[in-house]
Amino acid sequence: MNSFGVVVTSTLEVGLRSDQEIVKLRQIVRDEAITQGFSLVDQTKFVTAASELARNTLLYGGGGDATLAVVVNGTRKGLRLTFVDNGAGIPDVERAMQDGFTSGSGLGLGLGGARRLCDEFEIHSEPGRGTTVSITKWKLR
């Protein structure tokens, strides 16, 4: 248990170094969301957020790892995904979170869109040191 009362009951790590591994992560996340009893809407939201962040990890972070955790906090259970890369980092996180901002050729909806699809969103990035993004989706038990 951590200081916020969240208990991690299981974890699974997936490398993100190819498009095939992004597909693998999407399937793992969907399977676990089904196992945990998430609604179809919440499954879709979490898988979509996972896909966006996995793609960012690969394209902008040069690849990295994702860790999926089943978490419990009181009467809630949920899924937490943490993405870690050692890429260039994000020089201006606040600007990167704005819709329409892109450092590539995308639509600029990745980070902000992922944040809206989840219940909790945390990001830490340092230029030259990489980025860590953690998302959580909760449901009542």
The pLDDT tens digits of the residues spanning 85-109 come to 999 998 888 887 876 655 555 544 5
pLDDT for res 108: 43
User: Quick check: is 2 in a domain?
Assistant: no
Q: What is the mean pLDDT of residues 46-72?
A: 95
Residue 30: phi, psi to the nearest 5?
Answer: -60, -45
90 inside domain: yes
Parallel, antiparallel or unpaired: strands 120-126 and 64-73: unpaired
**Residue 30 resides in a domain:** yes
What CATH number does residue 70 fall under? Answer: 3.30.565.10
Is the residue at 15 inside a domain? yes
Is residue 1 a part of any domain in this protein?
Answer: no
Q: Read off the DSSP letter of residue 72.
A: E
Domain presence at residue 136: yes
Q: Please check whether residue 17 lies inside any domain of the structure.
A: yes
Under 8 Å CB-to-CB from 113, ≥6 apart: which residues?
A: 48, 49, 52, 99
Asked whether residue 46 is assigned to any structural domain, the reply reads yes
What is the rounded average pLDDT for all residues in the chain? 89
Full domain range(s) for residue 113:
7-140
Sequence letter at residue 129: R
67 strand-pairing partners: 13, 82
Q: Under a CB-based contact definition with an 8 Å cutoff, are residues 124 and 141 in contact?
A: no
Number of folded domains in the chain? Answer: 1
Percent of the chain scoring above 70 in pLDDT: 88
**Angle at alpha carbon of residue 128, lines to 125 and 55, rounded to 5°:** 60
